[in-house]
Each structure stands twice: as C-alpha cells, then as structure tokens.
Amino acid sequence: MRLRRKSEGPAPVRRILVGTDRSETATRAVRWAAQMAERYEAELVVCQSVREGMNKSETQRELAAYTEDVVGPEARPLAAQGNDPARVMVDVAKAEEVGSCSRTSRTASPTMRIARL
C-alpha cells in the first residue's frame, strides 16, 4: 500500500484508533496504524475489547506490554469492556472523539479501525 505524501497545512489525521486481539493479522494492522500515526504526527490508540468475566486490569497490563513491544512507548494502550468487539470500537471512537472509522479484517472479528478526527 502506498501512503500519500504529507500535505502542507493542518494535519488531516489527529488520532488513529486500531483494535487488536493480538493475533498475527492484528499485529500487522497495529504496525501499519503506527506508520500512519507517525506519518501524520497523530496519536495512536491501541484498543482491545475485554469480555465480561475477563480481568480488565490484567488485559490492560498485557496490552501495554504488547503495544510497547510492537510499536513502542508512543502508543496509548486501552482495554475496553464489552462483549461485542465491533460495538466496543465504535463506543471507544465516540469516547475518544474520533470522527469516522473504517475496518480492515481478514476474519469476522474486527482487527483494525482507523479513525480520523
């Protein structure tokens, strides 16, 4: 995939939200989102949904370690509670005041959402 040249003027993207289940496919999406965030000097938020009954604090710690390992300390990990990963991403996008979302996935579950504000 080719990335467009950075245009002059205000950044068109201020925040990128990428969802992960920490699979190989999702990890590729996280890395791609990190490249986009760097290119546009945007904040990168890496989100994982946590189903009810799962330990959200433990998932947050694991996600923080995963995020730092995959893309470094610049990204912000976010574990969000919810049984429907797609709904979780939409809710997080709203809470984070992200404008529009798109999804790229090889499976039925969402692995990446890029959001523009």
pLDDT at 114 (0 to 100): 43
Q: Which amino acid is at 24?
A: E
Model confidence band, residue 99 (pLDDT cutoffs 50, 70, 90): low
Instruction: Catalogue all structural domains in the chain, each as residue range(s) with its CATH number.
Output: 15-116 (3.40.50.620)
Query: What is the number of residues in the chain?
Result: 117
Longest dimension (CA), the chain: 47
Q: What is the pLDDT of residues 25-70, one digit of tens each?
A: 999 999 999 999 999 889 999 999 999 999 999 999 999 999 999 9
pLDDT at 83 (0 to 100): 94
